[in-house]
Structure 1
Amino acid sequence: MTDTDGTDPYAIREELPAPETFARLREAAGMTSRSLEGIERGLPNSLYGVVAVHEPTGEVVGMGRIVGDDGTVYQLSDMAVHPDHQGRGVGTRIMEHLEGYVEETAPPNAYVNLMADVDGFYERFGYEETRPASKGMYRRTE
């Protein structure tokens, strides 16, 4: 599915980015890098993903995906928009597609989570902090 109205230079496509594009967008957006091996292994295990394409150039300038078990847990992950294309509603459109997938497929009481790296964006979609009831934690492999 492609989402564009003919005047908007951005199309949202239901697909995953190529591993190199995934790495490039994460870096451009100031996100922690991932190994190419990890990206190549992980991307095919996504439940759903979208990319934002700048149609005049054909360049993938944004992405987002959902990982999880497709029943009880859904995690929105790897939301990134290249800085040159931020502030134009691209991230909002990516989120609308990710949220649409969850609304269409998740059974009642599924847990949908994300790690927010910006304030005020995800709250518009109904997300709220977990503290003090719980806290997010992580560790990295070496």
Structure 2
Amino acid sequence: MKRKKRLVIFNLVLSSFLFVFRIILLIVTIQYFTNNRVGVVHSLEVPPRIFEQFTIQIFPLLLYLLLSIAMAINERRKRQSSDISGISHLVYKGSPDVEDYLNVRKITGLSEKSEKGAKLGLKNTVCAISIYHDYNLIGMGRIIGDKGCFYQIVDVAVDPNYQGQGFGKLIMNELTTYLDENAPNGAYVSLIADEPADKLYEKYGFKYTYPASHGMYKLSQRSEEV
């Protein structure tokens, strides 16, 4: 979270500096050519050398041009980072921050976890994908397991404001690609499917265990140490 805030502040400071510097250069350039036109700069008695004239007249324009290009590149980079249609600019491979993780679980209706549990769980992730938009976590998914015989896909969630835009498929594509490339032959991959997400998981080869077997769970009731 702190890293993302620092990036926001850096972009604001850089944009402000470039804007102010650009205005100053524009004013200086206008003043120079205005003075040059009325004969203030050039002396009739001592003509400036060609190199000096080139440096004085052209350098401000070149500097102004380079600054304009830098500002354009910076603006383009910011637009790309916030454009939800540019999927490649949204993908952040790795576990999300603890605060973001807990928040997305809450707003998507998943069971809430303790901060201590989240820190331990995220640390022991096998594979994770997080999707950010405007520095906010909008989707995530993780794989946990022993990296040999058993894997489980968990925490597949997308912010309600971004659902229906293909982010769920993007998450599953990344996770299943990792399994296809890394899971040993015969490894058991499981997940808990809520409706209607179960229809999405079917497209990736997952099958219902019912009626041959039933999924079961138990929540830890141990109180957190103070």
TM-score (norm 1): 0.90
Aligned match of 1:87 in 161, 164, 173?
164
Aligned to 2:173: 96
Q: Percent identity over the alignment?
A: 38
Q: Which residues in structure 2 correspond to 1:1-142 (within 5 Å)?
A: 8-10=85-87, 11-54=90-133, 57-119=134-196, 120-142=199-221
- The alignment of Structure 1 onto Structure 2 pairs a total of residues equal to 136
Q: Distance in 2 between matches of 1:39 and 1:70?
A: 20
Equivalent residues of 1:49, 1:66 under 8 A apart: yes
Which structure: greater strand fraction?
A: 1
Deviation at 1:53, TM superposition (A): 1.5
Q: Secondary structure at the match of 2:203?
A: helix
Deviation at 1:8, TM superposition (A): 1.7
Q: Structure 1 residues 7 and 47 mapped into 2: Cα distance closer, same or farther (>3 Å)?
A: closer
RMSD: 1.5
Q: Distance in 1 between matches of 2:178 and 2:97?
A: 21
Q: Distance in 1 between matches of 2:211 and 2:201?
A: 18
Structure showing greater Rg: 2
Equivalent residues of 1:74, 1:110 under 8 A apart: yes
Equivalent residues of 1:61, 1:85 under 8 A apart: yes
Deviation at 1:7, TM superposition (A): 7.2
Equivalent residues of 1:14, 1:49 under 8 A apart: yes
TM-score (norm 2): 0.58
Deviation at 1:118, TM superposition (A): 2.5
Which structure: greater helix fraction?
A: 2
> Where does the alignment leave 5 or more consecutive residues of structure 1 unmatched?
none
Runs of 4+ more than 4 Å apart: none
Give, as a single letter, the amino acid of the residue that structure 2 aligns with 1:121.
L
Q: Relative CO higher for 1 or 2, CA cutoff 8 Å, sep ≥ 6?
A: 1
Q: Distance in 1 between matches of 2:168 and 2:94?
A: 16
Q: Distance in 2 between matches of 1:118 and 1:70?
A: 28
Give, as a single letter, the amino acid of the residue that structure 2 aligns with 1:61.
I
Aligned to 2:67: none
Q: Distance in 1 between matches of 2:203 and 2:91?
A: 20
